[in-house]
Homo-oligomer: A and B are copies of this chain.
Amino acid sequence: MSREGQTSQPKYLRIAAELRGALERGDYQPGDRLPGENTLAADFDVAPLTMRQALGVLRSEGLVGSRKGSGWFVESFRPIRRRGIPRLARGQWGSGKTIWSADDHRAPDVDQITVQEDTPPPEHISDVFELAPGETVCVRSRRYVMEGRPVMVAESYLPQSLVAGSPITQADTGPGGIYARLADLGHAPARFREEIRVRMPSAEEAARLAIPADRSVIKLARTAFDSEGRAVEINEMTMDSATYVLDYEFDA
């Protein structure tokens, strides 16, 4: 190997840094196709596999994506801001600049929606609901897309005994959505808990979100409690970690 890198940084990292700079300078526009692996490998004077390694770094960062048989493409990073706590009083705080600029005004559309009644729940769900053995749940599954691209899948779990026969078991829950219907049933959500963790996607999650296997996902589990402290809904969301900025605002 050449002795030039006195800092002894690996080739693939130096190439990745060089390409990252080119992308940030705007040498390639979002959606543009990059030269093929072999062409790039010749340009940078490395073996194809080393070139792949460099491109893989940028892919895991969300800067580029690859389509088999087609090529490498520049991805646009326009994060979506999700407000965890609905802003009630829009006062002086609304004007403050945020750390990471993100489109506030776009909201994803629902792409797919399925409802399954009378399903045996996963263990961690029945634990939180404190269900008796054999009790089942209703599962509402939705996928959200933005500009044609899947960005989030969400699965809502509700105790079957609570929602049987209500509009919650229909695809269209009517005005106000699930929470309004829970209120109709006398279990209006009074408090929420949101738990966030990050991990690598399963093969199914990666396919459903159309993200590479080496891009991590955010798991956000939102539990709704009624006024008596009973957990009445759990919404488990899975998001592409490269497209979301989460936002929580609260008083001291």
Contacts and interface: CB of A to CB of B under 8 A. Distances in A.
Interface of A: 13, 57, 60-62, 79, 84-85, 91-93, 95-100, 124, 127-128, 130, 188-200, 203, 214, 216, 218, 221, 223-225, 228-229, 231, 234, 236, 241-242, 244-252
B192 A218 contact: no
Contacts of A130: 97
Contacts of A196: 196, 245-248
Which of A60, A97, A127, A252 counts the most B-chain CB atoms under 10 A from its CB? A252
A121 to B, nearest CB: 12
Please state the number of chain copies in the assembly: 2
27 contacts: A60-B214, A61-B200, A84-B248, A92-B229, A93-B193, A93-B225, A96-B231, A97-B128, A98-B195, A99-B221, A100-B221, A190-B251, A191-B249, A193-B247, A193-B248, A194-B247, A195-B245, A195-B246, A195-B247, A196-B245, A196-B247, A197-B244, A197-B246, A198-B216, A198-B241, A198-B242, A248-B248
A78 to B, nearest CB: 13
Contacts of A61: 199-200
A195 to B, nearest CB: 5
A83 B216 CA distance: 22
Contacts of A214: 60, 214
A57 B191 CA distance: 38
Given A95-B229, A96-B223, 19 more contacts: A57-B200, A61-B200, A62-B199, A85-B248, A91-B229, A97-B127, A98-B195, A99-B223, A99-B236, A100-B195, A189-B252, A190-B251, A190-B252, A192-B249, A192-B250, A196-B246, A196-B248, A198-B198, A198-B244
